[in-house]
Amino acid sequence: MYNNPYLNTYNPQVSIDKLNEQINNLEKMKAQIQQPVQQPTNLTQNFQLAPTNRDVIRYANSIDEVQRDMVIGETPYFSKDMSVVWIKNTKGEIKTYELSEVVLQDEKDIKINFLMSQIEELKKEMKKNELDANVNKSNESTKSSNVSTISKSTKQQK
């Protein structure tokens, strides 16, 4: 095998073909290097350090605390007893509202309240009628005594 006479013979055509192939490969590599290399786009990440959780209820003892706090959007602040709410916007303007609890009533409660109010009205009317009756009685007694004295006094003066 090592002494094969056909292998040791020099074939110029094979060498030329190999050289041409290597030249073509080098030219391809040169063309790739000359082309502008596309670099990946730069990614920029921005982190917001301000609080973005606006679903949290904020509490304040006074309007001074609301004024000191910085807000991103319209933010409600509730007093501890839930009687006042302050709404602060990004400009620093503060609106104040009073809160009162609304108790939902069913039909029975509504009817009971209506009847209770009617009873109170009737009691007031009864007291008013009693006072009017007492005033009328006292007026009648004073009128009769006044009239008699006035008539006597007018007769005596003549």
Q: What is the mean pLDDT of the chain?
A: 79
pTM of the model: 0.38
Considering the domain architecture, whether residues 110 and 92 belong to the same structural domain is answered as no
> Could you report the per-residue pLDDT of 3-34, keeping only the tens digit for each?
555 555 667 777 888 899 999 999 998 888 87
Q: Which class for 79: exposed (0-12), middle (13-18), buried (19 or more C-beta within 10 A)?
A: middle
Domain assignment of residue 127, yes or no: yes
Is 116 found in the same domain as 92? Answer: no
Read off the pLDDT of residues 50-99 as tens digits, 9 standing for 90 and up: 665 556 678 899 999 999 988 888 889 999 888 999 999 989 899 999 98
Does 124 reside within a domain?
yes
Please write the tens of the pLDDT for every residue from 95-120.
999 988 888 889 999 999 999 999 99
For residue 6, being part of any structural domain is answered with no
Residue 110 belongs to domain spanning: 103-144
Q: What's the confidence (pLDDT) of residue 158?
A: 47
Contact assessment for residue 94 and residue 67, using Cβ atoms and an 8 Å cutoff:
yes
Query: In 3D, which of 68, 101, 51 has the Cα closest to residue 77?
Result: 68
Within a domain: residue 25? no
Domain shared by 90 and 62, yes or no:
yes
Give domain status of residue 68, yes or no.
Answer: yes
The answer to whether residue 157 sits within a structural domain is: no
* 124 shares its domain with 94: no
Number of domains in the chain: 2
CB neighbour class for 78 (10 Å; exposed up to 12, middle 13-18, buried from 19): middle
- CA of residue 19 relative to chain centroid, distance: 78
